[in-house]
Amino acid sequence: MFEQGDGTKLNEEVVNKLAQRFGISLTEKEPEPIREVPTNFAVPSEIRVHGFCPNAHCPSNKIYEVDGRTYALPNRLTADPVGGKFCALCGEILEKRCPNCGAPLHDGAICSICGDPYVSIR
């Protein structure tokens, strides 16, 4: 019944019998703490942040593939050589922070805080 989606008969006694039958040792494990993604990042105002172009087809983004997944590596200096508001190559509004979590930008294609790619490939 459990394999068919009816978990109502699955209790501790049944789990222990199954574990014993299959030679599995059941031990209590500490739950891993939930990692919260901080949302209040501060970037000093005197630092000029070069934005990246969120347009996957912009020539400032280098398309590459890893393990069958396609990513775009933003080149912030090509897209935003002067720290402006629009992409120098395609005119798109530049992103100055991670579009998913708001973390400050770093070099690379994926945010180191939330793990989402900066440029969405569709």
What pLDDT is recorded for position 17? 87
Measure the CA–CA gap between 57 and 53, rounded to whole angstroms: 9
Confidence check: pLDDT of 56 > 80: yes
pLDDT tens for each residue of 1-52: 666 666 666 778 888 888 888 888 887 767 777 667 666 666 555 556 799 9
Can you tell me which residue has the tokens 């530049």?
94
User: Kind of pairing, strands 69-74 and 61-66?
Assistant: antiparallel
Measure the CA–CA gap between 116 and 81, rounded to whole angstroms: 24
Identity of the amino acid at 84:
G
Q: Structure pTM?
A: 0.60
- The torsion angles phi and psi of 13, rounded to 5 degrees, stand at -65, -45
Measure the CA–CA gap between 52 and 91, rounded to whole angstroms: 11
Can you tell me which residue has the tokens 């990692």?
35
